[in-house]
Structure 1
Amino acid sequence: MTEWYRKHLGLTTNPYGATFEWYEGSDSTKKAQTQWTPFSEKTKYFEPSTKDFMINYRVENLVSLVSELKKENVTIVDTIETFDYGKFVHILDAEGNKVQLWEPKD
C-alpha cells in the first residue's frame, strides 16, 4: 500500500508510511508531525481490538500517565517500550479501540 500511494499519489514514503510535518498553531516555531501508516488487511497488529485502525497520541511523561490509567482501570495492552525516538505503550479505549501512546524524544 505504501508503494501504491508513493507511485500514484506522489507521497514521500518511508518504511513506516509517510510523515506530514506541520507547525503548531500556538507556537509557530514548534514543528509537529502526523504519521500515516498503512497495514496489510491481514495484520494482527491492532489486536485485541477488532477495528482495522489505531490512533497514536503524543503524550508527556508516559510512565506517570500509565500509572494514572491503571488506577482508573483502563486496559493496558502491553508494557512500555523504549526506542531511540521515544517510548510507546498500547491501551484500549472505552469502545475497545487500540490506542498507541507515544512520548517522543524531541
Structure 2
Amino acid sequence: MKKVTGIGGIFFKCDDAQGMNDWYAKNLGIATSKYGTTFEWADAEDPSKKGSTTWSTFPKDSKYFDPSTQPFMINYRVENLVEMVEELKKEGVTIVDEIADYDYGKFIHIIDPEGNMIELWEPKD
C-alpha cells in the first residue's frame, strides 16, 4: 500500500497572519488571499493527473492545530486513508479525531512522537 504520496499543505501560525500573507506576496511573489494560496501541479507518474499543495497562515491563537502546541502543521496527501488509519491504530499512533469526508477529500489528524500535528488527506481527484 502506498502511504504518503506528497505534501498537501503547509500551515503555520503567525502573530499577524495577514501581514505575513502580504510580506510573502510582496517579497516572494506568492499571490495570497486570507486563506493563503494553492499551488497546482501535475503528477510525476501520470501527468494527466493534477494535484495541489496549499500554503496558509493562521492566527497565533488558532485552535486548529490543537492538541499540538507547535506553531505549524503539515498536511500529507495519502492513498486509502481508511486502510492507513487502521494500520496507524495497530502501531499505537495517536489519532486525534475521526475521518471527516468532504467534497474535496477525506481528512484525519494524528500526532507524531514529538507532539506535531499531522493532517492526512486523501484527495478526491
Q: Which TM bucket (shorter chain)?
A: 0.7 to 0.9
TM-score (norm 2): 0.74
- Residue 81 of structure 2 corresponds to 62
Task: Report the Cα offset of residue 95 of structure 1.
Answer: 1.0
Letter in 1 for 2:41: W
- Summarize the alignment of residues 12-91 of structure 1 with structure 2, pairs less than 5 Å apart: 12-14=31-33, 16-91=35-110
- Answering whether residue 22 of structure 2 is matched by residue 4 of structure 1, we say yes
Q: How big is each residue's C-alpha offset from its partner over 1:35-90, in whole Å with a ceiling of 9 and x where there is no partner?
A: 10100011121111110000000001111110110011000000000000000000
**CA distance in 1 between partners of 2:51 and 2:60 (Å):** 28
Q: How big is each residue's C-alpha offset from its partner over 1:3-59, in whole Å with a ceiling of 9 and x where there is no partner?
A: 525763553334531011223334444332221010001112111111000000000
Structure possessing the higher relative contact order (Cα contacts under 8 Å, 6 or more residues apart): 2
**CA distance in 2 between partners of 1:19 and 1:7 (Å):** 13
Runs of 4+ that moved beyond 6 A: none
Give the number of the structure whose residues are more often strand, by fraction: 2
- Residue 113 of structure 2 corresponds to 94
Q: How many residues align?
A: 106
Q: For the aligned residues, what is the CA RMSD?
A: 1.9
**CA distance in 2 between partners of 1:92 and 1:50 (Å):** 11
Aligned-residue identity in percent: 57
Identify unmatched segments of 5+ residues in structure 1: none
